Amino acid sequence: MSMTTTRSDIRTRVRDYLYESTADWFTDTQLNRLISEEIRSLPAKDIYKESVVADNLEINVKEYTLPSNTVEIEKIERNDGNGTVADWSELKGWDVFNGTLYLDWNPATTDDIRFFLRTSFTNPTDDVTSLDVPDDVCEIVVWGVVVRCYKMVIGYMRQSKNWDSVSKPDFMTLGTVTGWLTEARRDYLDLIKNYATSPMPRDINLVS
């Protein structure tokens, strides 16, 4: 899975779609803020990283701190093997609150456990470090920022006083920008449908 796209690349592609060769509409600072907002929003759209984190039970310890980028735990497994051959089985009886795993029983062993996690992407802080968002998924980030840009333009146009010192292009109307927004949102939502991850199936405990 290739991950070579930088924040600078995202800005360039956003400006390509806006047909903005330079910072005519939006500054780098504004676009950087919108890029961060879009990346933070991806897990809520079922677009996230997946990772497996190893840990150990501790005797009589019921609380375990999760990685700070944890979005959700898909499942937890415990190694019930003999020390030579691993035998992983799903661990039951836990809950999560405020970044901490809580067991509803006291461990009596120090068995190996592993967490299957949904995790968030890293917020970019510079223009040269590659994002940990896969290159193909970055298209979602690009279109998400374009949608946010058009919303900002609509907000700007609603304030008539903003045209006092700026010449309004002849073609520019609220309806025109709303049409651009509608088209951009359609492409954006189509990409989300293509790349969203289906949640893992879960067993339902019907035993009271």
What does the pLDDT profile of the chain (208 residues) look like in tens digits?
A: 799 999 999 999 999 999 887 667 899 999 999 999 999 999 999 999 999 999 999 999 999 999 999 999 999 999 999 878 999 999 999 999 999 999 999 999 999 999 999 999 999 999 999 999 999 999 999 999 999 999 998 887 776 655 554 555 566 778 888 999 999 999 999 999 999 986 555 554 444 3
What is the per-residue DSSP string for 135-189? TTTHHHHHHHHHHHHHHHHHHHHT-GGGGSSSPPPTT--HHHHHHHHHHHHHHHH
d(CA 19, CA 29): 18
Residue 56 — φ and ψ, nearest 5°? -135, 145
Question: What pLDDT is recorded for position 201?
Answer: 52
Q: Is 25 exposed, middle or buried (0-12, 13-18, 19+ CB in 10 A)?
A: middle
Dihedral over Cα of 58, 62, 68, 69: its sign: positive
Count CB atoms within 10 A of the CB of residue 29. 9
d(CA 115, CA 76): 5
Strand-by-strand arrangement of the 112-119 sheet:
49-56, 112-119, 70-79, 88-90
Written as six digits, the tokens of 176 are: 């025109």
pTM: 0.83
Cβ atoms of residues 119 and 51 within 8 Å = yes
